[in-house]
Structure 1
């Protein structure tokens, strides 16, 4: 990229409001990543609580045992 649009004008001159729009959205991607990361951490914590239960542990153990013994 050379900083010019297809007409030979500088990119900033082609759309004067573009620079302001980009400046207003600066940092929004970082905030979105932070929100997604916090949601993933919350989901992982919920899974840990669920998987610590004896009933779920028994179901998973039975599932793995059946998978390993039926492979014959």
Structure 2
């Protein structure tokens, strides 16, 4: 009985060794959408001015 259950679990676990083409496509689309959102956020005026201010402050530090 135990051997039969173990064989079923092992077969089910080994049946899906990797991602299929559809899973790769969904992952690629999700990554591209995330990149587009990040690009839109970074491209905004508030972020650009904050980064410029941060860089200016870092470069004007007196040692």
* TM, length-normalised to structure 2: 0.57
Q: For the aligned residues, what is the CA RMSD? A: 2.6
Q: Which has the higher helix share?
A: 2
Is there any run of 5+ residues in structure 2 with no aligned partner, and where? Answer: none
Is there any run of 5+ residues in structure 1 with no aligned partner, and where? Answer: 1-13
| Match 1:47 to one of 38, 42, 54 | 38
Alpha-carbon deviation of 1:37?
A: 4.5
Alpha-carbon deviation of 1:16?
A: 2.7
| Max Rg structure | 1
Q: Runs in 1 of length 4+ with deviation above 3 angstroms?
A: 33-40
Aligned position for 1:58: 49
Secondary structure in 1 matching 2:40 = helix
Aligned position for 1:30: 19
